[in-house]
Structure 1
Amino acid sequence: MQEDRQKLKVTTDSPEAIALINRFIDQALSYGSYAETVILQAIAADPTCAIAQAYAAAYYLSQENQVGLRQAQPYLQAAQQHLDKITIREKLYVQAIAAWANKEIDVAIALHEEITDNFPTDMISVQQGQYHYFYTGDKDKLLKIAHKIVFANINSHYLYGMVAFGLEQCHQLAAAEKMAMLAVKLNRHDPWVHHAIAHVMETQGRVEEGIAWMENFADTWENCNSMLYTHNWWHIALYYLELGDTDKVLALYDNHIWGRARKDSPKDEVGAISLLLRLELRGVDVGDRWQDISAYLYPRINEHALPFQDLHYIYALAKAGQTNWVNQMLVSMQQHTLTVNLFLRQSWLEVAIPAARGMMAHAKKDFNTAVMELKPLKRRLHEIGGSHAQRVLFQQVYRDALKNVEKSQIYGITA
């Protein structure tokens, strides 16, 4: 038995494995680019270490695609073989990751909450609890799960960053900024804290200040994974978009967002898609960039990992003129709603499917249908997950469709 950097018992007799697990914890909490490498090295050092196996499974599940789901399976199975020999915390964690793999997100959440209540220094578990709350649209619990462990992690900038993001999502902007600034004083190199402040300043319209803040820290993101690297630059692009500097936004897209993306990463794809759409809503010609990104989206048609992702994919495919793929994806989404558990089914059936129809319609310039499909959803879009900054895009699409419908009525144009 060893103890990790979170002062938690780990069932392994290998000092090398525990050292690598500690490196993984830092990589995971800092969104580092070496998380996969170090956790696989930990497993090589001790293949019987169940929590290392579960960490690897969680890493692959977080990719939110079919490849990641397949990659997670052998590690999850290896972890489950040792359930009778490991600590209670490790057992709960393995069970939480198994629930995630089975798309039983409500079960996974309950297990992460149990870990949090009994092992409050386990920030990896809290991070994943927040992740599930984020993609099920429960901002209050996203904040609460991190708030519960503040006193157990009073010197952790990682924890302050988690709390700051939760506070921002709950519109407690002053408190979010104060908490994030505490984290920066502890560690300038925490990209999630930079990200939390980006949200605060964007919400408050502090555009020039936001650019200065984010660009001041951009040099520290080189060791981030592609998701957070591209996402933090995406926030910078949104600031420049607010200033109307669309040439700068396109340059950021080409050099720091899609240009630095893992082209097979759903989160990187979603960020790129959302920025292209925002540019087009401003009247910018994005050239052949829709066609470029759509080439990577065929594997997404039947995935349905997250409704938030699907709405971006189907829009991009429609903009690229991939009509057959679009129709195939909508049918597949409808079939998917019959397979998910009740906790997720309602948001898929009542929000994601009509929103997909609305997004498709807007991409095809069928603005009447877009308005008809999106208008009833305006108060429910949080159910598909994502941040305020990300979900506002769907409101923008609705308003653009409405503007075009009203224009057609005034001038007698068929929309």
Structure 2
Amino acid sequence: MPVDRYGTAHAATDPSALRAFEAATHAVLAHRPNAGAALEQAIARDPGLVAAHALRGFSCLVLARDELAPAARLALQAAREAKDAKGDAVPAEAALVDALALAVDGRFRAAADRLDAYVATDPHALLHVKLAQSLRFMVGDIAGMLAGTGLVLPAWEAERPGFGYVLGCHAFGLEEAGELAAAEWVGRRAVAWAPDDAWGLHAVGHVYEMRGAIADGIGWIEAARPVWTGCNNFAFHMAWHLALFHLEAGDHARVLDLYDTEVRPLPTDDFRDMANAVSLLWRLELDGIAVGDRWEALAEIARKRRRDATLAFAALHNLIALVAAGDVASARELAAAMAAQATDETDQGDVMNAVGVDLAGVILSFGFGPRGPAALGVLATRLQDLGGSHAQRDVFVRTLAKAAAERGDRVALDRVLAARRRLKCDDRFVTTLDARLDARLDGRPGLRIHA
């Protein structure tokens, strides 16, 4: 039973197929652009390579696009048929197939649980570790992310291939859990062991974002340019992080330059690229900074997604683009699709129910809706369910804070900011908003409503 360089065991397969699959796994771990090509090469050399079909299915699902659901199901079918054809079940392959089946049914948490159950028996199965963290990341399961890597790390030796990548995954879980000092130390070790570990590099950048360490953040990301500029579209995300530091520094010209040249250099419709672009422009708008005609290009993409509520995180960013561009009809159509999704018995149905639909109502109110009844402080405590990182979800925290301030609601604003302060220090946006609301309420004690 061959085991590839990164710890995935396979049924008997062609050595060249195994090498191609290793290349695909490395690309996933390091966020490199050649994963798809390497995966296709692996399948061409061994059409019965179970793990390759499963990874293809996961690759479809993490893009969170309604039209890719059939492709994910076809990949699942191919993986099952390949597993059955090879006879004796290899546990590593069986875990991937089982997890993919759960994920295809919209049960990402259960899929990650299945992967972690296998990893408990084989802690060196790095692809399983990475996929489990990716799935948990998409549903906001911070405790699960940290527990998963904490479970396997004691079994890893520094000399084992992939050690730096598992450290990078652990560093990110630590940062999201608020253990910033540990996250920085582990993240730096990750990059030292695997210099191309963009995820570990990214985890340290998050630490500086949470601390408000502008100079450290800019210095860290700029020094690592040779690494992240060689990534796939993760390079756009690293440029987004860089832009956030310049935004906090008040250098709006630099932020817009980064937007045009590195955050949004291509008009892609990947939801992660859209999230980078939309959230950066929306932050500028909330700061009162004009962004010119940049919204229309984003709204054009969002219109094509106005009936797609596959992922609440993605749909909410599309909704912001439509509201910012003033497209009332499309925005309301997307909000209706989100409300319909809330009836599904899936992870995302639960997310829409808990936070997505109400948050959509708050976003709509910025453009053309009534103020809405949403309890802003309560919503702030539920944002983690949306998935993504604290830094990414901060655009929604800012939206709730701005809504509270515009309502003249000191109680709601305090509750929103209290949720934020558990992990992130106050920044210029918060202090300015606080001061403006205090000035507005000064001498008007009756203007208070409760969240």
Q: TM-score, normalised by structure 2?
A: 0.86
Q: How far does residue 245 in structure 1 lie from its aligned partner after superposition?
A: 0.2
- Partner residue, 1:354: 358
- Partner residue, 1:92: 95
- Partner residue, 1:246: 252
Are the counterparts in 1 of residues 64 and 271 from structure 2 also a CA contact under 8 Å?
Answer: yes
AA in 1 matched with 2:286: L
Q: Which moved more, 1:44-53 or 1:70-79?
A: 70-79
Deviations along 1:173-194, one digit per CA (max 9) or x if unpaired, are: 1111111111122132221111
The one of 154, 178, 182 equivalent to 1:171 is 178
1:389 aligned onto 2:369: no
Aligned-residue sequence identity (percent) comes to 29
Are the counterparts in 2 of residues 177 and 197 from structure 1 also a CA contact under 8 Å?
Answer: yes
1:284 aligned onto 2:318: no
For 1:296 and 1:211, locate their aligned partners in 2 and report how far apart those are by CA, in whole Å: 30
- Partner residue, 1:119: 122
Q: How far does residue 410 in structure 1 lie from its aligned partner after superposition?
A: 8.0
- Partner residue, 1:234: 240
For 2:172 and 2:70, locate their aligned partners in 1 and report how far apart those are by CA, in whole Å: 31
For 1:411 and 1:365, locate their aligned partners in 2 and report how far apart those are by CA, in whole Å: 29
1:75 aligned onto 2:75: yes
The one of 156, 160, 164 equivalent to 1:153 is 156
Q: How does 1:320-331 map to 2 (within 5 A)?
A: 320-331=325-336
Are the counterparts in 2 of residues 12 and 46 from structure 1 also a CA contact under 8 Å?
Answer: no
- Partner residue, 1:21: 21
- Partner residue, 2:402: 400
Q: How far does residue 12 in structure 1 lie from its aligned partner after superposition?
A: 3.5
CA RMSD of aligned residues (A): 2.1
Are the counterparts in 1 of residues 10 and 51 from structure 2 also a CA contact under 8 Å?
Answer: yes
Give the gaps of 5 or more residues in structure 1. Answer: none
Q: How does 1:30-49 map to 2 (within 5 A)?
A: 30-49=30-49
AA in 1 matched with 2:124: T
For 2:374 and 2:66, locate their aligned partners in 1 and report how far apart those are by CA, in whole Å: 32
For 2:203 and 2:289, locate their aligned partners in 1 and report how far apart those are by CA, in whole Å: 28
Q: How far does residue 411 in structure 1 lie from its aligned partner after superposition?
A: 11
Q: How far does residue 171 in structure 1 lie from its aligned partner after superposition?
A: 0.8
Does the C-alpha gap of structure 1 residues 166 and 92 become closer, same or farther in structure 2, counting only changes over 3 Å? Answer: same
For 1:242 and 1:114, locate their aligned partners in 2 and report how far apart those are by CA, in whole Å: 42
Are the counterparts in 1 of residues 7 and 126 from structure 2 also a CA contact under 8 Å?
Answer: no
- Partner residue, 2:420: none
Are the counterparts in 2 of residues 161 and 192 from structure 1 also a CA contact under 8 Å?
Answer: yes
For 1:182 and 1:409, locate their aligned partners in 2 and report how far apart those are by CA, in whole Å: 49
- Partner residue, 1:56: 56
For 1:56 and 1:350, locate their aligned partners in 2 and report how far apart those are by CA, in whole Å: 31
For 1:19 and 1:137, locate their aligned partners in 2 and report how far apart those are by CA, in whole Å: 33
Q: How far does residue 409 in structure 1 lie from its aligned partner after superposition?
A: 7.7
Q: How far does residue 272 in structure 1 lie from its aligned partner after superposition?
A: 0.5
Q: How far does residue 372 in structure 1 lie from its aligned partner after superposition?
A: 3.8
- Partner residue, 2:337: 332
Q: Alignment partner of 1:5: what SS? A: coil
For 1:356 and 1:32, locate their aligned partners in 2 and report how far apart those are by CA, in whole Å: 34
1:104 aligned onto 2:110: no
Deviations along 1:350-389, one digit per CA (max 9) or x if unpaired, are: 31100111111123485x43x8453331211111112111
Q: Which moved more, 1:384-393 or 1:35-44?
A: 384-393
Q: TM-score, normalised by structure 1?
A: 0.93
Are the counterparts in 1 of residues 362 and 403 from structure 2 also a CA contact under 8 Å?
Answer: no
Are the counterparts in 1 of residues 264 and 273 from structure 2 also a CA contact under 8 Å?
Answer: yes
Deviations along 1:123-175, one digit per CA (max 9) or x if unpaired, are: 21111211222222221111110111113333210011001001101111111
Does the C-alpha gap of structure 1 residues 212 and 25 become closer, same or farther in structure 2, counting only changes over 3 Å? Answer: same
Q: Alignment partner of 1:179: what SS? A: helix
**Number of equivalenced pairs:** 408
Give the gaps of 5 or more residues in structure 2. Answer: 409-436, 445-451
Q: How far does residue 25 in structure 1 lie from its aligned partner after superposition?
A: 1.1
Are the counterparts in 2 of residues 93 and 115 from structure 1 also a CA contact under 8 Å?
Answer: no
AA in 1 matched with 2:331: V
- Partner residue, 1:363: 367
AA in 2 matched with 1:360: L
Deviations along 1:42-69, one digit per CA (max 9) or x if unpaired, are: 0000101111111111112221112433
1:318 aligned onto 2:323: yes
Does the C-alpha gap of structure 1 residues 238 and 51 become closer, same or farther in structure 2, counting only changes over 3 Å? Answer: same
For 1:169 and 1:361, locate their aligned partners in 2 and report how far apart those are by CA, in whole Å: 30
The one of 273, 294, 297 equivalent to 2:299 is 294
Does the C-alpha gap of structure 1 residues 74 and 183 become closer, same or farther in structure 2, counting only changes over 3 Å? Answer: same
AA in 2 matched with 1:151: P
Deviations along 1:187-226, one digit per CA (max 9) or x if unpaired, are: 3222111110111111112101110110010122232111
Are the counterparts in 2 of residues 358 and 373 from structure 1 also a CA contact under 8 Å?
Answer: no
Are the counterparts in 2 of residues 355 and 373 from structure 1 also a CA contact under 8 Å?
Answer: no
- Partner residue, 2:199: 192
For 2:230 and 2:178, locate their aligned partners in 1 and report how far apart those are by CA, in whole Å: 30
Are the counterparts in 2 of residues 43 and 52 from structure 1 also a CA contact under 8 Å?
Answer: yes
For 1:13 and 1:309, locate their aligned partners in 2 and report how far apart those are by CA, in whole Å: 38
Q: Alignment partner of 2:265: what SS? A: helix
Does the C-alpha gap of structure 1 residues 12 and 323 become closer, same or farther in structure 2, counting only changes over 3 Å? Answer: farther
The one of 173, 177, 188 equivalent to 1:181 is 188
For 2:285 and 2:297, locate their aligned partners in 1 and report how far apart those are by CA, in whole Å: 16
- Partner residue, 2:413: none
For 1:153 and 1:311, locate their aligned partners in 2 and report how far apart those are by CA, in whole Å: 39
Q: How far does residue 74 in structure 1 lie from its aligned partner after superposition?
A: 2.4
Q: Alignment partner of 2:343: what SS? A: coil
